Amino acid sequence: MVMILIGSALLILWGTAHMFPTSSVIKGYGETSEDNRNIIRMEWINEGLTLIFLGVLMILVTLFGDIHSTVNLLVGLCVITMLIAMSVLSLFTGFKIKMLPFKLCPFIFSTSAILIGIGTFLS
């Protein structure tokens, strides 16, 4: 259970941290159309909210459900699958960006997936 909580807390922290630089990121693109700024804002916030949701979902299922139930195992599997998909996407896109936070995403997503996997399937 502790591994699930650590992996989930990492997601919540990274998702929350993801939200703060949104304005700076948009400004970093220079002159763009209002539509493009809104798309960047939407996608940036969307990733932060997704990470927070995945972390909160795992914490709630873990704390208020039976850790060995089918539901817990399925939710864990779905969250791990999503994190792996996000990690692969980040590896092929964000990892090419020179800014360190973008390079950290694949490692943070993978670490969370591993911790949640250990807690879900090996406890």
- pLDDT tens for 52-81 read 999 999 999 999 999 889 999 999 999 999
In the predicted model, what is the mean pLDDT of the chain? 92
| Position 3 confidence tier, pLDDT thresholds 50, 70, 90 | very high
Q: What is the number of other CB atoms lying within 10 angstroms of the CB of residue 44?
A: 17
- If we measure between CA atoms, which residue out of 27, 89, 78, 84 comes closest to residue 53? 78
Instruction: Give how many domains the chain has, as a whole number.
Output: 1
pLDDT in tens, 11-57: 999 999 988 888 888 888 889 899 988 998 999 899 999 999 999 99
Contact (Cβ atoms closer than 8 angstroms) between residue 52 and residue 30: no
Element (H, E) at 73: helix 70-92
Q: Which domain holds residue 88?
A: 2-121
* pLDDT value, residue 28: 81
* pLDDT value, residue 84: 98
